[in-house]
Structure 1
Amino acid sequence: MTRLLFSLALGLWLACSGAAQATEIRVTDDRGISVTLPRSPQRIVSLLPSLTETVCELGQCHRLVGVDRYSNHPASVRALPQTGGGVDPNIEAIVALRPDVVLAATSSRGVPRLESFGLKVLALEPRTTRDAQRVMGVLGQVLEVPDADRIWRAIDAGVSAAAQSLPATARSLRVYYEVSNGGYAAGPQSFIGELMDRLGVQNIITPELGPFPRINPEYVVRANPDLIMIGKRNVAGLEQRPGWRGMRALREDRVCVFTADESDVLVRPGPRMAEAARLMAKCITDKGLK
């Protein structure tokens, strides 16, 4: 009887052990590091708005227990504890939340310290459309959401619909998109530049300058774009920039000024990219096709 009970107990332990191993999740993050999680995480801290939005788009917002100070969509995440910025996270606050995993940008200076506390960190930083698709797939695997590909296809279809809403004449428009203060522009290799390309407009920034180059104001004057896209946060003093008052876009009132909320949509490579494409298409229709 004792031997039988021992055999049954051993069999049960092996079965449970096998089940536990079967739920283990292993993914490679954008550092090239293999991260192993014993199970799908139930407590998540996200330190990048695009990652926060992707988790929620996958229907898993309820797993978030903390976010960075810039994560503000969907509205429900605004009630979560804030844990500093993505680059300068509040390590103590994150540790206190006891996350199963921390989602962070590869550029975050806090990653080594978080790992020194024994926390699992998944570093993911989408910069292109393909990156955003890949990140959604990785998070779908980690969160055990089987239809991540379907969700992405719907986003991509939304971008295509925005492009199809524009007439062929949009292809002649030369556009300058300013991302942030200091003259940082969206180059063709950035996700914003890729959206511009899909919408059929011409980016005045050349590919060799990189995804988000800092542009001398004279570069824009020489390029003389037909249309300027810029956020409300950066528009102050636009006409006072040397030579800008005489540019075609300013003379003909072809400047789209996006609100803070719209800018958040446009500068985040994630699940709201179809909405970003629609905002750009509306700008092109309202300002660029007179």
Structure 2
Amino acid sequence: MLRQINMPKDVMPDLIRHPVYSWIPAYAGMTTIVAKVIIFFLTVLLMVICAEISCADEFRDETNRLVRIHSVPRRIVSLAPGITETLYALGLESRIVGVTTFCDWPVAARLKPRIGGFTNPSIEKIVALKPDLILATADGNRRETVLQLERLGLPVYVTNPSDTRSVLKSILRIGEITRQKKNARRLVGTLQKRLDCVTAQTRHRDKPRVFFQIGLEPMVTAGRGTLINEVIKRAGGVNVAGADLANYPRYSAEGIIGASPDIIVFAPMINDNKFEAVKRFWKNFPEVPAVKNRRIYPIDADLINRASPRLFDAVEIMAIFFHPDINISATCCPNDIPLSGH
């Protein structure tokens, strides 16, 4: 137990004036100043941290909507096949709780709970999954669907990729909002290298005229504002419908004959495996260079229609169609992201 020591009053002044204790008043003043400085800097630091946390939860999506995400997303619903593929590529499969009926790649995605179609998802099913993040696309999901989910208080981030550059940007943004920045940067770096490699090998070559055929009856192609047009260009070709303002204009056989394509690339519609029928059809038009030189090729429509990392597979495959003597697989494809189907 501490005891109070009573010293004579006449001794106290001398003791305080002793050299050993002469620093006490100065130190006391200094301590007060230091304490105030420390408190000030701690306050500023706390304000900065709070501001950063607040800003980190708010994002501008690719349609310039402000989206607030309250935590690290753990229950993600994807409203587009390309988004689902991107989530898997980023290693986020365990966080996906719902996908559309069209989300069929990778194969594991088919086992995820279904929330309906691409353009008509079930709001009730989405709500029942209790998502903390919904990812949609401006190109395929209806604006009314986004607004309905938003009114229910659910965070909906909308992507809007239109070319390879914006696909890479979308991957980075999805990585940011899911707190997977490192994986997203690594993936984008790999995809960009693959794209650069194709460009380097095709830049100075003659560019063949390409007709991209979707289906047989009716015969549809891809115009200027499509990912397909972008892939043809990136692969070192010229889209014969690239100047068409319509995204997916219809063409007659006569129109294609007039366009005189060097190459025809055929993508079957859903449940439409008619490549042999297409080749038989074009045998009736031997004057078309692509027919005469037997340069009619099939491609998986999902590769070229979906804004996902597999779009870069499509660029490489098309580059091989256009320039058969280049060696894309050996020179452009790292082991971690192989060509689909190769």
Q: Please classify the TM superposition score into its range, dividing by the shorter chain length.
A: 0.7 to 0.9
Name the residue aligned to 1:177. Answer: 212
1:275 counterpart (313, 316, 334): 313
Report the residue type matching 1:146 in the other structure: K
Whether the aligned pair in 1 keeps the contact of 2:72 and 2:179 (CA below 8 Å) is yes
Name the residue aligned to 2:228. Answer: 192
Does 2:176 match 1:141? yes
Consecutive unaligned residues of structure 2, counting only runs of 5 or more, are 1-42, 326-342
2:97 counterpart (57, 65, 76): 65
Does 2:59 match 1:27? yes
Report the residue type matching 2:75 in the other structure: R
TM-score of the superposed pair, with normalisation by structure 1: 0.80
Looking at CA atoms only, which structure, 1 or 2, has the larger radius of gyration?
Answer: 2
What is the deviation of 1:64?
A: 0.4
String of CA shifts for 1:112-154, please: whole Å, max 9, x gaps: 2222332221121322112212211211110112232332121
For the aligned residue pairs, the C-alpha RMSD in angstroms reads 3.1
String of CA shifts for 1:195-238, please: whole Å, max 9, x gaps: 22222222211335254444444332210101100124364754
String of CA shifts for 1:251-276, please: whole Å, max 9, x gaps: 33211022xxx321122122112211
Whether the aligned pair in 1 keeps the contact of 2:136 and 2:159 (CA below 8 Å) is yes
> Per the alignment, do residues 18 and 164 of structure 1 end up closer, same or farther by CA in structure 2, a change over 3 Å counting?
closer
Equivalence map 1:94-133=2 (5 Å): 94-106=126-138, 107-109=140-142, 110-133=145-168
Provide runs of 4+ in structure 1 moved above 6 Å. none
Whether the aligned pair in 2 keeps the contact of 1:49 and 1:268 (CA below 8 Å) is yes
Aligned identity (percent) is 28
Moved more, 193-202 or 128-137: 193-202
TM-score of the superposed pair, with normalisation by structure 2: 0.69
Aligned residues: 271
Name the residue aligned to 2:256. Answer: 220
Whether the aligned pair in 2 keeps the contact of 1:65 and 1:99 (CA below 8 Å) is yes
Whether the aligned pair in 2 keeps the contact of 1:162 and 1:274 (CA below 8 Å) is no
Report the residue type matching 2:193 in the other structure: A
Whether the aligned pair in 2 keeps the contact of 1:24 and 1:39 (CA below 8 Å) is no
Which one scores higher on RCO, CA 8 angstroms, separation ≥ 6?
1
Paired with 1:61 and 1:245, the residues of 2 have a C-alpha distance of 48
SS of residue matched to 1:35 = strand
Consecutive unaligned residues of structure 1, counting only runs of 5 or more, are 1-10
SS of residue matched to 2:181 = coil
